[in-house]
Chain A
Amino acid sequence: MAGTKLLMTFPVTATSHTLADYRARGGYATLARVLREMKPEDVTKEVTASGLQGRGGAAFPVGRKWQVVHLDDGQPHYLCANADEGEPGTFKDRWILENAPHLLLESMLIASYALQVRNAFVYIRGEFDLPYRRLAAAVEEAYGAGYFGERILGSDFSCDVVVYRGAGSYVCGEASALITSIEGKRGYPRNRPPRLTVRGLYQKPTVINNVESLANITGIIANGAEAFRKVGTAKAPGTRLLSVSGHVERPGVYEVESGYPFRDFLREELGGVLGGRALKAVIPGGISAKVLTAAEIEPLALDQSVFEAAGSTLGSGGMIVIAEGTCMVRLLQVMLRFYHHESCGQCTPCREGMGWMHRVIDRIVAGQGRPEDVATLYHVSRWNDGTTICGMGDAAGYATTAILDKFRDEFDYWIANGRSKHRGVLEVGNA
């Protein structure tokens, strides 16, 4: 067991996602107590004191985001749960949506009370079918039980929720693009300032939190900030849901207490690298997180601050394990094809840069690489940094340069010899 668990605390059964089962686990009791006993600002204080960091990728403190919203500004406020899980390698919010939809909804109600939100939204990626059906059914159950709607549980608090489905766009997971998408437009990110907590959905103050961030709220309020801070580390309290894929014996979603050693996690929980191979590298937090070599990651604790100090991030929790023998040139090719495909086209450096890098890597893989190609990839990566509205261009550049820095020999080899230093594939087989 990778330490204390806060979210994956019950056995998943055929009915564990239903309202009846959730209530049997104590569900919605925290909401009832909040509405009876707490003032909205007390909820925000508790969340701030918990030190909860966002789980969507940027690790921004949740309480600090909430504090920007002024409760008495006379405007409507909106809350959006970001369920547009699309960072490659990430599938942990799907676990919550499928198995604990009421935990998300109760947490959203508590957050909506704290932020005085009348209308809340869940933005869920368009491809998610079962997660959508589970969540939509949970919403109907919650309305039926009086947890949403007018004067909830006899209080003065009223709140409605809409589950809004995306339609196939990676960039809509970026908070400002998500808002533009809920407005029924192309999902173009917006320049900040103003922050979305000042001018968000239809220009009104809007808080956007990742599904896992929100799912932690009910427990924080139920047990107090102090109890939450006892779990994990001082700099990164609580747990992380890590979705693990790639060359590993037991891929899946794991809840890990912050600070748990990576080495133990790989050996005990994941069953080691596929087929007992040696570990080559790990992309620790979605493909936009900088790759770490085996030597770099093996001594680390699974703690956001530790990964930041090591030059990477636990990001979205999408951990991709890469075995020895994997071709890193092909890996970068797949990544750049993806970024090129998903660039929304709004900013020139990203729109042109992603296509340029994609053409360069395709040329290398086709055996027509030129001596200056690696320098070009570096150049375009750096040229993207800080020159685009959203972070996608930056992130693609960081991910690219990390691979080039750490596996440069494979690129030089392919350019010089017209073929992969390894077998030119991403699959390693089971032998």
Chain B
Amino acid sequence: MKHLVPEFERLKARFPAGFESSLVLPCLRRIQEDRGFVADSDIAGLAAYLGVPRIQIEEALSFYTQFRRKPIGRWHVQACRNVSCSMRGAERLIDHLRRRLGVAPGETTPDGRFTLSTVECLGSCGTAPVVMVNDAYHEGMTAEKIDALLAGLE
């Protein structure tokens, strides 16, 4: 985490004085981008750096679904299964992804390439069904389009 401190300092300068506690979420996000997940040492380091209780960081990590405590595959495939996506084929698409990747939601392929997750409403209901791969939205997905997309991801 230490090598990110200069970045954290620039971030802190954007906030009003006394807002150190607010930096917990942005710093965790940056740590996760860097390491792929948040390790125990990151929690201790961030608590000391921000001067917030360690438990506050633990609580945030267990509350917000985007934070991870363990490494995942190189490509995180997150398929929305909420109402609008299900109305436009998400249930079939998720079945297809399970077969295609050979894993259930929450699991990673043995080669460490893909992790499959299901998620609730990504705010892309007009172009349903939507699948998020790492940071990017892929909208109006079909089995054919998802196959083409996955084939291009190493």
Contact = CB atoms under 8 A, between A and B. Distances in A.
Given A331-B83, A426-B86, A185 B59 contact: yes
A183 B84 contact: no
A394 B121 CA distance: 20
B120 interface: yes
Interface in A409-431: 425-428
A100 B135 CA distance: 22
B137 A76 contact: no
Contacts of A202: 18-19
B123 A326 contact: no
Contacts of B26: 164-165
A428 B59 CA distance: 42
Interface string A124-137: 01111110000000
Interface residues of A, number: 61
Nearest to A130: B137
Interface string B100-141: 000000000000000000011111111110001001110000
Interface in B87-111: 87-89, 91-92
Given A126-B64, A166-B64, A334 B82 contact: yes
B10 interface: no
Nearest to B65: A168
Contacts of A160: 14, 16
Interface string A318-359: 101010001000110011011001101000000000000000
A165 B25 contact: yes
B23 interface: yes
Interface stretch (A27-35, A89-97, A108-116, A371-379): A89-97
Nearest to B136: A129
A85 interface: yes
B61 to A, nearest CB: 9
A184 B24 contact: yes
B8 interface: no
Contact of B127 (A76, A166, A251): A251
Contacts of A245: 84, 87-88, 125-126, 128
B25 A251 contact: no
Nearest to A344: B63
Nearest to A253: B126
B63 A88 contact: no
B27 to A, nearest CB: 9
Contacts of B88: 245-246, 427
A354 B64 CA distance: 19
A251 B125 contact: yes
B123 A86 contact: yes
Interface in A244-302: 244-247, 251-253, 283, 287
B25 A244 contact: no
Nearest to B122: A127
B126 A252 contact: yes
A118 interface: yes
A427 B123 contact: no
Given A88-B82, A89-B84, A425-B91, A129 B125 contact: no
B86 A169 contact: no
A187 interface: yes
Contact of B86 (A127, A129, A187, A334): A334
A162 interface: yes
Given A129-B136, A320-B84, A85 B123 contact: yes
A416 to B, nearest CB: 25
Q: Which of A88, A169, A251, A253 has the most CB of B within 10 A?
A: A88
A36 interface: no
B43 interface: no
B87 A338 contact: no
B41 interface: no
A170 interface: yes
Contact of A162 (B15, B81, B136): B15
Interface string A221-248: 0000000000000000000000111110
B65 A169 contact: yes
Given A320-B87, A342-B120, A167 B92 contact: no
6 contacts: A94-B124, A129-B136, A181-B25, A184-B22, A344-B63, A427-B86
Interface of A: 76, 85-91, 94, 118-119, 125-130, 160, 162, 164-170, 181-187, 202, 243-247, 251-253, 283, 287, 318, 320, 322, 326, 330-331, 334-335, 337-338, 341-342, 344, 425-428
